[in-house]
Chains A and B, each alone.
Chain A
Amino acid sequence: MLALTIWLTWVIFIKKSRFPVPDGKPIPFLQRLIYRRYFIDELYNILFVKPYEVISNLFYEKVEKGVIDRIVNGIGYLTFEAGIRIRRLQNGNASFYLFVMVAGALFFLLFNLMIH
C-alpha cells in the first residue's frame, strides 16, 4: 500500500507534473464538478441560506415591525390621541356643561320612550 502510494505520487506529481491548474484557465466539466465539490455549497446557498435570510428579513421588517409592533404602539397612540381630543370637552364653560347635561337627559328620555 505504501509502495503504491509512493508510486502514484511519483507518477502524478513528478513524472506528469500534474499540479493544480492555474486560476482562470477553463476546467473540463467533470473536473469542475469535482473542483466545486459537486456544487453542494451553491445548492445549500440557494436552498437554505438565501430563503432563511429572506424570510428572516420579511419577519423582522414586515411582521414584527410592520404589524405586531404597530398594533401595540397604535393602541398607545390611540389612547394618547383620544386623551388630547376628549379633554377639549372640559373647557370650563358652565353653559356648555349645562347644555351637555340637558342633551344627555333628553337622550335617555327619548331612548326610554323608544324602548317602551
Chain B
Amino acid sequence: MFSLVLISFPFLAALLVLMTRKAAVAKWMSLGFSLLQLALTLIFWHFHTAGGNSFSFFLPWLPEWGINIHFELDGISFLMVLLTNLLIPFIIYSGIYKTQRNEQLLYALILFTQFALNGVFGSRNAVLFYIFWEMALVPVFFILFLWGGERRQSVTLKFFIYTLFGSLFLMIAFIYLYFQTSVPHDFEYTSFLKTNLEPCNQMWVFWMLLMSFVIKIPLFPVHTWQPDTYTVAPYQGSMLLGGLMMKMGIYGLIRWVLPVIPEFSLQWGFWIVIFALTGLIYFSVIALQQQNFKMLIAFSSLAHAGLMGAAVFSLNEYGLQGVLFQCFSHGILVVLLFYFAQLIEERTDTLILPRLGGIKTPAPVFSLLLLITILGSAGLPLTNGFIGEILMILGLFSFQVWSSILGVFTLVGGAIYLLYAYQRITLGETNPLTIGFQDITIREMVLVVPLVLLVIFFGFYPQPLLNLTEIPVRELISNAFSSH
C-alpha cells in the first residue's frame, strides 16, 4: 500500500495545484507537495533499509488479460524513485522566483511528470509500465511546447515523434512476450522472466526493446532529438529531461531487457558496448566544439549516457552498480549544470561561451560552486561522478580490457571540454557583459548548496546508495546469467 501512496501522491498534488486560482500559491504549493513527497520517500527508505521490504502492491485491474496494478520497489527501482523525488523539489524551486505564464499548469505538469516517472520505476506489470512510460512523455511535451524557446514547435514535434516511434516497438515487444507466457497469459514482469523464447524470436524482441529504450536515453546514432530539445526546452524542462527522463531508458534496459532476454543480451552485448563507446568518444569530441553552454551540457550528457549504455551490457555487478550510481550522480549534476546555465543567462542574457569570461572576479562564490559541479561532471575523485564512473570502468574492465580503455575517455574528454568551458566562463578578463555579474544570492544558494553538498557527500560516502542496489543487482545477474 505504501508504494501505491508513494507513486500516486504526486498525481493528487498535480490536480490540487491545477485547481488553484493564484499562480503564486500554486508554485509554493507544488514545492510543498514535492517536499512532502521527498519526506515520504525518505521514510520509505528507512523502512526499506531496516526490513529489506520492497512494499509490493497488487490489485487486479483487468485480470482476464493479466493486466494488474502491480507496484514493487526493490533497490533498483527505489534508487530511481529516490532520485526523482529528490530532484523534483529542486526543479520546482529553480523557477519559483521567475514569473512565467500559466504557472498553475506548468507546476501541475511537473508534478504529473513526477507521478509518471515514479510509476515507470515502480511498475511490475508490462502494460502498467507502458502506460506510465507513455504518460511521462505527455507533460514534458507540453512543458517544451508551451514554455520552450525559439523553434520550439519543430523541435518538440521531432522529440515527440522520435520517442513515440521508439515506444511503439516497446508495445509490440510486450504483446509478443505476453503470448509467450504460460496459459493463462499475463503481462506480469515475473511471467516475462519465465518465458522461454526461440533464439530467432529472441532476436527481434531484443532489438525492439533495445530500440525503444536506446532512443529514450539516447545512445548514438538515435540521439538527434536530444541536443536540440535540451537547448530549446525551458530550464525546468531540460532538468526533467536530462536529470530524470534519460534514466527511464537506462532503467528499462536493466529491468526489461537484461533479465527478460538474457541469452541475446550476452550474445549482442559486445556490439552494443562498441556502439555505445563509439558514441561516447564521438560526443566527447563534439562537445569541445560547442559554443552554447546548454548545447555543451547536452553533448556532455550524451557522452555520459554512452558510458552508461556500455556499462549496462558489461553484464557484471561492477558495471550495473556503477550505472545505477551514475544515474543518481548524473541526475544531480545535470540539474546543477542547467541551473548554473539559467543563472548565467538571467544575468548576462547569453549562453555563448566566447561572449562570457572573467566571472570569477565579480562572482567568486558562484565560480567556486560551478567549479565543484564541473569537477563532479568530469568525474574527479571525491565527487559523486567519480564513484559511478570508476565502477562502470571496472565493469568494462572485467568485460573486455580494451572497452575500459575507451571508457576512460569519458573522464579525459569530460575534463577537456568541461574545464575548457569553465575557463571560458569564469577565467580571463571580464567584459561589459560580465563585469557586473552578480554573485550567487542566498535564494539561489538554497538550491545549489544542498545539491553541491550531495555531490561531495556521495563522493566520500557512496555506501548508502550502493547498499540499496547491491542485492537486487546480484540477484538479477545470478538469475539471468548464471546458467549461461
Which residues 200-223 of B sit at the A interface, judged by CB distance below 8 A? 221
Measuring CB to CB, which residues of chain B are less than 8 angstroms from any residue of chain A? 158, 161-162, 221, 224-225, 282, 285-286, 288-290, 416
Max chain A C-beta neighbours (<10 A), residue from B161, B225, B282: B282
- Chain A neighbourhood of B224, CB < 8 A: 68-69, 72
Instruction: List 20 additional A-B contacts (Cβ < 8 Å) besides A52-B416, A72-B225.
Output: A52-B288, A53-B288, A53-B289, A56-B285, A56-B288, A57-B289, A59-B282, A59-B285, A59-B286, A59-B289, A60-B286, A63-B282, A64-B286, A68-B221, A69-B224, A72-B162, A72-B224, A73-B158, A76-B158, A76-B161
Restricting to A47-84, which residues have a CB under 8 Å from any CB of B? 52-53, 55-57, 59-60, 63-64, 68-69, 72-73, 76
Interface centre among A52, A53, A73 (most CB of B within 10 A): A52
Q: List 29 A-B contacts (CB under 8 A).
A: A52-B285, A52-B288, A52-B416, A53-B288, A53-B289, A55-B285, A56-B285, A56-B286, A56-B288, A56-B289, A57-B289, A59-B282, A59-B285, A59-B286, A59-B289, A60-B286, A60-B289, A60-B290, A63-B282, A64-B286, A68-B221, A68-B224, A69-B224, A72-B162, A72-B224, A72-B225, A73-B158, A76-B158, A76-B161
Q: Whole-angstrom distance between the alpha carbons of A64 and B282 in the complex?
A: 9
Complex-state Cα separation, A69 to B224, whole angstroms: 6
Q: Which residue of B lies closest to A69 (CB)?
A: B224
A63 to B282, CA, bound (A): 10
Report the Cα distance A53→B195, complex, angstroms: 50
Shortest distance from the beta carbon of A58 to any chain B beta carbon, whole Å: 9
Q: Which residues of A contact B158 (CB under 8 A)?
A: 72-73, 76
| Interfacial residues of chain A within 61-116, with CB under 8 A of chain B in the complex | 63-64, 68-69, 72-73, 76
Alpha-carbon gap, A55 to B286, bound state (A): 8
Residues of B within 8 A of A68 (CB): 221, 224
In the A-B complex, the 6 residue pairs with the closest CB atoms: A56-B289, A60-B289, A56-B288, A72-B224, A60-B286, A56-B285
Chain A residues, Cβ within 8 Å of B161: 76
Q: Which residues of B sit under 8 angstroms from A76, Cβ to Cβ? A: 158, 161
CA distance A56 to B296 in the complex (A): 13
Q: How far is the CB of B456 from chain A (nearest CB, A)?
A: 30
Q: What CA separation (Å) do A47 and B286 show in the bound complex? A: 18
- Output the least CB separation between A110 and chain B (Å): 35
Nearest chain A CB to B424 CB, angstrom units: 14
Measured in the bound complex, the distance between the Cα atoms of B340 and A62 in whole Å is 30
Q: Chain B residues with Cβ under 8 A from A73's Cβ?
A: 158
Residue of A nearest to B222 (CB): A72
Cα distance A74–B285 in the bound complex, in angstroms: 25
Cα A86 to Cα B225 in complex, Å, equals 27
Residue in chain A with minimal CB distance to B228: A69
Question: Which chain A residue shows the least CB distance to B223?
Answer: A68
CB distance from B205 to the nearest CB of A (A): 24
Alpha-carbon distance A68/B283, docked complex (angstroms): 13
Closest B-chain residue to A48, C-beta based?
B416
Instruction: Give A76 to B162 CA distance when docked, in angstroms.
Output: 10
Complex CA–CA separation, A57 to B289 (angstroms):
6
